[in-house]
């Protein structure tokens, strides 16, 4: 896990070094650049899987951010001895080319590869790892928008999940190269729940790391991950007396994991002090985005202070298994369409925010529910099994019954920004800072955003 950047054109090396400085929080363990002609790649490194310095180069060059969970199998097939997923990825691309290599990857990634004066950038199909680019003076890309802003680029675009972009001699081509495939529909709830419990268990196991943390709210999604990864430390954040604080205590007790629970009961002053850093991380003053980001900012910061670099999250379960209240009234065909659309937009709506706020603390966020196997299985499960007799996430609850007590299985979902008490705290801070009337909170956060300089 790390931060990547690159540029093509005049003074590309100087531009990349400036970009890396802007995202150095993503990689405290080292940095490097490599140039081929007028193209420069750069990397700031957070050591998780192996310690191979980047960019990796030979006849081509690679800079990479993410985790490839099947890298050992890839390395074995290529007869490469390595403990580094980046080195396995480089060998795979060198051997088979970008598009063929991407088809063999099981993981979350954003990377760039240069060969024959062509620069290719690619992103995983769910969009777990972010990647932005600009076609201003030349071409440049980076893990965060702020890295492109510091070199004077304003028209910043997001590389779509599952897409590959190629830049060559001023020309750009972009196409979809990976995605999720749905197989035969599953309508039998016994088959669906059994297969789902096994698939989620594998997804959590492949993302397990020692030491490991879980962003823990005590709800169904995070409790299931905790039950499947009981060695992980549980980090919960909320305003003093909030629903999340009380619920996480109860959930940890029911799971027999009270000794793993780290509670952080926030004060209004703590939230106010953290807001500039949170807004800088997510690069937005949007009240919804900020109120969801604040607890994750503190949770990942607490995990970092505890010597932890990997945190698991329940992100994605609602979009796959119909967790939001708005899904309740939908007919099956409408629900299926809505879930597909929400999955397509989850990177922009949720993942990019979560990556930015955890990586500002140099903590890698892993999302088991967005494992390829889980996603493709979810796409096969009939919508009638996702909302059943008014129960949202019905099939996920059935799968969770293998691991959780009923009190947690049937726990109602509450929106994180409200259950943590953060949204209410932000409203109080807006009032404290004399923002009144319509859109007071939005205006308050927007002013903080405008004051943020990179």
Q: What is the residue-wise DSSP string for 310-360? A: EEE--TTHHHHHT-SGGGTT--HHHHHHHHHHHHHTHIIIIIHHHHHHHHT
Q: Where are the beta strands (DSSP E) in 226-323?
A: 233-239, 261-266, 310-312
Angle between the N-to-C axes of helices 422-432 and 440-451, in degrees from 0 to 180, rounded to the nearest 10:
80
275-to-143, 290, 293, 313 alpha-carbon distances in Å: 22, 8, 10, 22
Report d(CA 362, CA 96) in Å as an integer: 32
Terminal C-alpha separation, the chain: 22
2 assigned to active site:
yes
CA-nearest of 19, 10, 22, 25 to 357 is 25
Largest Cα–Cα distance in the chain? Answer: 66
* Active-site entry in 2, 51, 212, 229: 2
Q: For residue 264, give the 3-state DSSP assignment.
A: strand
Residue 37, classified by CB atoms within 10 Å of its CB into exposed (0-12), middle (13-18) or buried (19+), is exposed
Q: CA torsion angle for 310, 316, 317, 323 (degrees, to 10)?
A: 140
* Residue 262 · residue 432 · CB < 8 Å: no
* Residue 107 · residue 85 · CB < 8 Å: yes
CA-nearest of 416, 425, 417, 149 to 283 is 149
* Residue 311 · residue 303 · CB < 8 Å: yes
Q: What are phi and psi of 322, to 5 degrees?
A: 70, 65
DSSP state of 80: -
Q: Is the previous residue joined to 55 through a cis bond, with omega within 30 degrees of 0?
A: yes
437-to-291, 421, 434 alpha-carbon distances in Å: 19, 21, 10
Residue 32: CB partners within 8 Å, gap ≥ 6? 42, 43, 45, 53, 54, 55
Report d(CA 47, CA 412) in Å as an integer: 38
CA-nearest of 325, 385, 413 to 193 is 385
Residues assigned a catalytic role: 2
């Amino acid at each position: 896990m790390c931060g990547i950047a690159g540029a093509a054109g005049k003074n590309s090396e100087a531009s990349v070094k400036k970009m890396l400085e802007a995202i150095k929080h993503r990689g405290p363990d080292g940095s490097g650049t490599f140039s081929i002609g007028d193209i420069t790649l750069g990397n700031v490194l957070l050591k998780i899987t192996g310690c191979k310095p980047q960019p990796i180069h030979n006849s081509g060059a690679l800079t990479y951010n993410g985790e490839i969970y099947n890298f050992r199998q890839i390395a074995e097939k290529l007869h490469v001895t390595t403990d580094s997923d980046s080195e396995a990825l480089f060998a795979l691309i060198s051997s088979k080319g970008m598009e063929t290599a991407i088809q063999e990857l099981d993981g979350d990634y954003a990377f760039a590869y240069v060969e024959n004066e062509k620069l290719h950038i690619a992103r995983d199909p769910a969009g777990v790892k972010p990647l932005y680019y600009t076609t201003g003076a030349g071409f440049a890309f980076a893990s965060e928008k702020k890295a492109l802003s510091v070199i004077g680029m304003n028209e910043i675009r997001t590389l779509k999940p599952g897409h590959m972009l190629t830049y060559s001699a001023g020309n750009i081509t972009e196409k979809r190269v990976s995605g999720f495939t749905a197989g035969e529909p599953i309508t039998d709830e016994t088959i669906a729940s059994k297969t789902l419990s096994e698939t989620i268990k594998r997804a959590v196991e492949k993302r397990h790391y020692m030491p490991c943390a879980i962003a823990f709210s005590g709800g169904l999604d995070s409790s299931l991950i905790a039950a499947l990864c009981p060695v992980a430390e549980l980090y919960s954040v909320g305003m003093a007396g909030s629903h999340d604080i009380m619920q996480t205590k109860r959930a940890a007790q029911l799971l027999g994991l009270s000794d793993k629970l780290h509670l952080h009961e926030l004060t209004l002053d703590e939230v106010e002090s953290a807001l500039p850093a949170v807004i800088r991380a997510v690069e937005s003053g949007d009240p919804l985005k900020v109120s969801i980001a604040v607890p994750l900012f503190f949770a990942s910061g607490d995990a970092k202070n505890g010597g932890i670099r990997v945190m698991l999250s329940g992100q994605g379960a609602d979009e796959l298994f119909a967790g939001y209240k708005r899904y309740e009234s939908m007919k099956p065909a409408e629900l299926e369409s809505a879930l597909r659309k929400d999955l397509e937009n989850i990177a922009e709506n949720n993942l990019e925010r979560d990556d930015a706020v955890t990586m500002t603390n140099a903590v890698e966020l892993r999302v088991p529910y967005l494992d390829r196997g889980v996603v493709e299985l979810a796409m096969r499960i009939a919508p009638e099994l996702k909302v059943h007799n008014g129960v949202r996430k019905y099939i996920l609850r059935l799968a969770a019954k293998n691991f959780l007590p009923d009190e947690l299985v049937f726990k109602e979902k509450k929106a994180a920004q409200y259950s943590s008490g953060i949204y209410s705290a932000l409203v109080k801070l807006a009032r404290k800072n004399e923002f009144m009337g319509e859109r007071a909170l939005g205006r308050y956060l927007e002013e903080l955003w405008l004051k943020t300089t990179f």
